[in-house]
Amino acid sequence: MIYLDHAAATPVSAKVLQAMEPYFREKFFNPSAAYLPAKEVSAKYEEAKNTIAHAIGAKGNDLVMTAGATEANNLGFTVLEPGDKALVLETEHDSVRRIITQNRQFSTRSHGEFIGVDETGRIRLEDLRDKLDDSVKLISVSLANNELGIIQPLAEIAEIIREVRFDRLRRGVKRPILFHTDASQALNLLNINVARLGVDMMTINAAKVYGPKGVGALYVGHEVRLSPLSVGGGQEKGLRAGTENVPGVIGFATAITEAQSHLNGNRKKYAKWKKLFLDNLNDYTLINRGKTLDNFIVICYDGLDAERLIFLLEERGVYVATGAACAASKGVGSHVLAAIHLSASKIAGSLRITLGETNDETQIIEAAKIINEVVDAERKRVNG
């Protein structure tokens, strides 16, 4: 198997699994219990939160642990109150987009608009400025797009938001303006610091950095006031009820430490592999241009059906994607590729390839060879 879909899921690393294992059996105690073994588990849980937070320049108390990035994104939007507006980049993951398009609770109290992108998928800052009226309370822009790997200029967006805050203060407008980002895809390739990026909330996800699935976190700045999505025992400062996922958070702490300690090496390695892959690939169109994550490759074979290519490649042991896994499984076309104004035939013929730790140079060359053979055979079939 040659697995080239690391943006969708990563295997749990050996170090992460080893760190988690004791908390399934020997150290299984509920952190809220009063006896000493439980208190020791609680201390390890808080230590793990501190480790995760430190990786993004925050403190453990700034984090709300969640069951993944989707829950963290939804929790962030609870800052909105009646009359507030949210601005969301049109290429965001559906866990953000659908909050303003399909979430009934949101639509009854707030409203949202999309911010446009250019032909590379980068935010159009002039469109953001045009839509920043006094009703806007929340702006959500991912650090790196989950389909294209495009890295957004968060510091520039934060500077615009600071200007708006100052102007509102000068004019006596009391509504705050907050900045949220989903940084899930970027944790193992970018040096992330919440203060440097200028964000008030940040979503992160263990499953993208060789940690366990179903574990995420929302960084929450001190001026942010959220409402819980569920109530119960008061865990996570009352914002996320339920017994803490101790093994998952321990695993996340190990995974993010590993990821951040290999940032430079990962960037160099994936940049080298990306060039090697493209050098061995025939007759393609590269879709993701500009400043992107080094492990993201989006290519197009205009006139061919990418979904059919995926099945044919799977038969040869190569696993790739057409876009976000959750959308592809439902047969939904990519809103991201539509937003950068690709034609319908180019969208239909686009593949997303994301490199990762399961790969090596031999696999990269072999994958390109197999893709060339499958595409050539498919072109001959289509052209009769």
User: Which active-site residues does the annotation give?
Assistant: 326
Q: How many CB atoms lie within 10 A of CB 46?
A: 15
Taking CB atoms within 8 Å and a gap of at least 24, the contacts of 11-18 are 11/210, 11/357, 11/358, 12/210, 12/211, 12/212, 12/251, 12/255, 13/210, 13/211, 13/254, 13/255, 13/258, 13/357, 15/254, 15/258, 16/210, 16/211, 16/212, 16/251, 16/254, 16/255, 16/258, 17/251
CA-to-CA distance for 71 and 240, rounded, in angstroms?
10
Contact 220, 201 (CB under 8 A): yes
Sheet of 350-354, strands arranged across: 285-286, 296-300, 350-354
Burial code (b: 16+ CB inside 10 Å, e: under 16) for 78-108 equals bbbeeebbbbbbbbbbbbbbbbbeeeeebee
- For 147, residues 6+ apart whose C-beta sits below 8 A from its C-beta are 7, 91, 298, 323, 324, 334, 336, 337, 352
CA-to-CA distance for 155 and 162, rounded, in angstroms?
10
- For 218, residues 6+ apart whose C-beta sits below 8 A from its C-beta are 63, 64, 66, 72, 73, 75, 76, 201, 202, 203
